Structure 1
Amino acid sequence: MNHLQRLRRPSVLKLVSLIFVENYVRASKTTIWAVGSSHIVQNPRFYRTKKAEKSENGQNLDETSTTDSRISRAARQEAQGALLEYLHSTRSLQFMDAENMSRNSPIFVEKLLKNVEKEENIGRSLARFLRYHPINEFEPFFESMGLKPSDYSSLLPRNLMFLNDDDMLMENYHVFCNYGIERNKIGKIYKEATEVFRYAGGVLQSKLQSFEDLGLSQSTVIKVVASCPYLLIGNIHKEFSMVLEKLRSAGIEYEWIERHLFEGNSYNWSHMLELLSIFGKMGCSKEELGGVISQHPGLLFEGSGSTSSTLIGFLLKFGSSVNEIRSLFLQFPQIQVWKFAWNLRNCYHFLIEIEMDVQDIGRILRLYSALLGLCSLKKVNSVLANLNTGKKRVCEVIKENPQVLKNWVLGSRVKPLPDSGEALRSQMMKTKFLLSLGFVENSSKMRKALREFRDSNTSGTKKHYQTQDQLKTS
């Protein structure tokens, strides 16, 4: 049976493929695998490359909306004080709201300062400006909630300027504040679930309580709501409650879930439920499922399980049996799932680039997936140069002992392969061939011909040197 053409356990593969096609590939720009078409982590970026400036509440100010560093700290503080006085005393906003808006809307404050930048007394001048030039209070309000101008520009009400004119918005905003959700995290909720701020009195509070009724602590609810605002829309999300139930039945407590949720991330609980169902279909017991998820939270939370499910699909396409995949996950190494998948992908391309036979590639990927997932290989050209050999011999070395790949990872010193004797045999064959054509041994013409023979075999040489006359005249 050709493992690269026929797949085992089609029922499980069908489920994995469904997840892969519907939930993952549509949003990705991917390359097509030469063999066993599947997608695995393509150019992931998990960390910022530039440290962002932060406002007083810790929110990031990206490079498109950073404040003017030329404005002095004293001038900025005076402007914040004037804005606080205006919002609280003139506009009658609650002091906590006014203070948060004035301290955590640096971009808006900078815009205000441009109106009085030539004045000596910034605070007094700005107070006078605000007296005669009412501001759109929704701008500093949304910014203080953690939104950038590019985020909230489309969210600004068309016919309102003053926050107190939108009682429903402020009431639901205060429900979140009083529940313990940080003010600079509420912006994400507003952006992703705006309708929540249109709920009538008491509705939002009852929804938050319904999460606690599932057995979640208040601190867990805060993390869930901050990361997945859409769960507040409609009734309790069915998939969310089913994931909780499956994890609880596997021995995983809700406190564990809280520890591994990050408010800055978004989670798709439908994807997580599908992954847990796949593990069940692969024959994992509740105890095994609880053990592997507890030890490797990334299996569930990285990409909401999509990375793990597509990794399963990739292995199935190369002929791995369900039991082999189950065994891999039950003994999954201490490495991030995306990194494991990334390494596996690069190893696959390494084998393709050295022109290994597809049957051998399939066998190695199937039998040594745990090894390949741990190997961050050097580039092929670098390995060949350090080994001082060609692709053909590297293929043979890997086929004889795939464990050799771990000696060629990034950061390692790759030693040349020992002489196999092939070079000497090749040299003797070339010399014999040239002598048969009439070359004089050790002559300058023979040495020149041997140099031109380098990196060629005898059959290649016959093609290169078409006739005896061509050789003798070279």
Structure 2
Amino acid sequence: MHFHPPTTFSLYSTLSRHFSSTTKLPKLSKIPSRYRPKAIHLAQKALTDYLHTTRSLPFIYAEHISKNALFSLSDVASKVHFSPSTFFKSFQRFLRYHPINEFEFFYESIGINYHEINGFLPPNKFFLSEDSRVLNAAFAFSGFGFPWNRLGELYREEISIFSKNPSELSRKLHGFKDYGFGSVTVIGIGLVFPYVLNGKTELGNEISALFDDLGKLFVDFDLLNCVEGNVDAWIEVCRKIKVFYDLGCEKGKMGELMGKRKSIFLEYPEEVLVNKVEFFCRLSVNKSDVGLLILERPEILDFDLEDQMISVLGLLKHFGMNTKELKSISEKYPYVLGRHKMVNLPHVMRALDLQEWFFNKMRSGKHHLLCTCVVGNEDLDKDYKGSLDIIQSSRTSIHTLQKLNFYVFHQYILSYMISTLLLHNTIYIRSYDKN
């Protein structure tokens, strides 16, 4: 048998990822805690031997399944009497007389959540040989280089792919390399844009447009030589590209602009990109315009748009609003004035009905002003005096001045309350967008 025992560190790392999961493994109460890693290792060996020798699976795939199905494996192990000296043989005997549902192990091994597997199991089938289409498709993907335990991502998104002829899948995957991409790049594209593997006629133009963009970005602008040659690196790059398409940026027309701004895909984590996108989407402007803003002004990704404090009137003046306009804002929206965290700026602008005005300032090149409009504690007196001058010259100066004095007296209380309400609105909108 060709099973190679893992090192202590690799086995510990593998088990830690699963035992620390929010989904708890079946309790191995029959096995003393000090023996559990060894028991799992022996169970993996026995299962690999069973799938390879008894069920005639190629060894490499039998090993993939046994190493990546710890929940299913632990469930079976909990039913087997444990003894350090006999557990391996006991587990083998259990498999001979108690056939397992091989589809459960297979689906977990490719990355399907253990507690969701029942929704994927074929009815009245127990052995992989009873429905070999899914398994053969997995063989084709794995043979090309796809990580076995990430095939579930493909299966979830485009389940019909796994009913295709393995030779057809291999031809399609190798055909993508004709664009000048390496195998690892094709894998990243396939995992992030799985519909390209489906081959549906109605998606032909969309797929062609996507590869036009990717060809320009990866080949013409040489991104291929700037990314590490591993699957995870290419998945991250492709996920960042997908952010712009999800915003509505048109496929087939973004390749050159993305290529000129390839630093976005090389230097910034996906989380930073998504956070900035969400910030500007909260302005309720066209989402595709948000994507274009980030591509046209990538330095925005360096801005702190979370915790910095801003003065509403100070920011409006900073962005070019004149005294007359500021006076009008003070009269109409006195309850919005004051200091806020930068993260609440989109909701402040919407409350002032200035979201389009503000966003157009961003698009026109005034985005850099966001870095210089922050108000510190030492600027509070100036902020107050500026507001006072504007209000005193307004038609409702006495009434509004009383409000201003009240607001300043309760400066921190009001700032906290408004920020909390706006932050609650932020959380609600983020939740709504995700749904």
Q: TM-score range by the shorter chain?
A: 0.5 to 0.7
Alignment-mate amino acid for residue 271 of structure 1: Y
Instruction: State whether structure 2 residue 338 is matched by structure 1 residue 354.
Output: yes
Offset, 1:55: 2.8
- Contact 2:109 / 2:148 at 8 angstroms: preserved in 1? yes
Offset, 1:202: 2.1
Alignment-mate amino acid for residue 183 of structure 2: Q
Unpaired runs of 5+ residues, structure 1, are 1-52, 400-453, 457-474
- Contact 2:285 / 2:356 at 8 angstroms: preserved in 1? no
Aligned length: 330
Quote the Cα distance in structure 1 between the aligned partners of 2:122 and 2:313.
52
Quote the Cα distance in structure 1 between the aligned partners of 2:171 and 2:252.
34
Quote the Cα distance in structure 2 between the aligned partners of 1:105 and 1:455.
62
* Alignment match, 2:114: 149
Quote the Cα distance in structure 1 between the aligned partners of 2:208 and 2:243.
9
* Alignment match, 1:191: 156
* Alignment match, 1:335: 301
Instruction: State whether structure 2 residue 245 is matched by structure 1 residue 245.
Output: no
1:24-173 correspondence runs (5 A): 55=14, 62-66=21-25, 70=33, 72-119=36-83, 121-173=86-138
Segment of structure 1 superposing worse, 90-99 or 234-243: 234-243
SS at match of 2:180: coil
Quote the Cα distance in structure 1 between the aligned partners of 2:196 and 2:285.
35
Q: For the structure 1 residues 343 and 200, does the alpha-carbon distance in structure 2 shift closer, same or farther, using more than 3 Å as the test?
A: same
* Alignment match, 2:224: 255
Alignment-mate amino acid for residue 211 of structure 1: F
1:194-209 correspondence runs (5 A): 194-209=159-174
- Contact 1:87 / 1:93 at 8 angstroms: preserved in 2? yes
SS at match of 1:97: helix
Offset, 1:161: 0.9
1:208-287 correspondence runs (5 A): 208-235=173-200, 237-246=204-213, 248=215, 251-253=220-222, 255=224, 261-262=234-235, 268=242, 271=245, 274-275=248-249
Q: Deviations over 1:61-93 (max 9, x none)?
A: 621145758352222222222222222222222
Tell me the TM-score normalized by structure 2: 0.59
Quote the Cα distance in structure 2 between the aligned partners of 1:326 and 1:244.
19
- Contact 1:80 / 1:102 at 8 angstroms: preserved in 2? yes
- Contact 1:220 / 1:258 at 8 angstroms: preserved in 2? no
Offset, 1:162: 0.8
Instruction: State whether structure 2 residue 267 is matched by structure 1 residue 294.
Output: no
SS at match of 2:298: coil
Alignment-mate amino acid for residue 123 of structure 1: F
SS at match of 1:296: helix
* Alignment match, 1:392: 384
Quote the Cα distance in structure 2 between the aligned partners of 1:146 and 1:396.
62
Segment of structure 1 superposing worse, 205-214 or 159-168: 205-214
Quote the Cα distance in structure 2 between the aligned partners of 1:177 and 1:371.
50
Q: Deviations over 1:188-243 (max 9, x none)?
A: 11222111111135221222133223332222111111222222112465334324
Quote the Cα distance in structure 1 between the aligned partners of 2:43 and 2:27.
14
Q: For the structure 1 residues 273 and 331, does the alpha-carbon distance in structure 2 shift closer, same or farther, using more than 3 Å as the test?
A: closer
Unpaired runs of 5+ residues, structure 2, are 1-11, 316-335, 340-347, 391-407, 411-435
Tell me the TM-score normalized by structure 1: 0.55
SS at match of 1:275: coil
SS at match of 1:146: coil
Quote the Cα distance in structure 2 between the aligned partners of 1:346 and 1:388.
11
Q: What is the root-mean-square deviation of aligned Cα atoms in Å? A: 5.0
More helix by share: 2
Alignment-mate amino acid for residue 239 of structure 1: E
Quote the Cα distance in structure 2 between the aligned partners of 1:191 and 1:343.
38
Q: For the structure 1 residues 396 and 370, does the alpha-carbon distance in structure 2 shift closer, same or farther, using more than 3 Å as the test?
A: farther
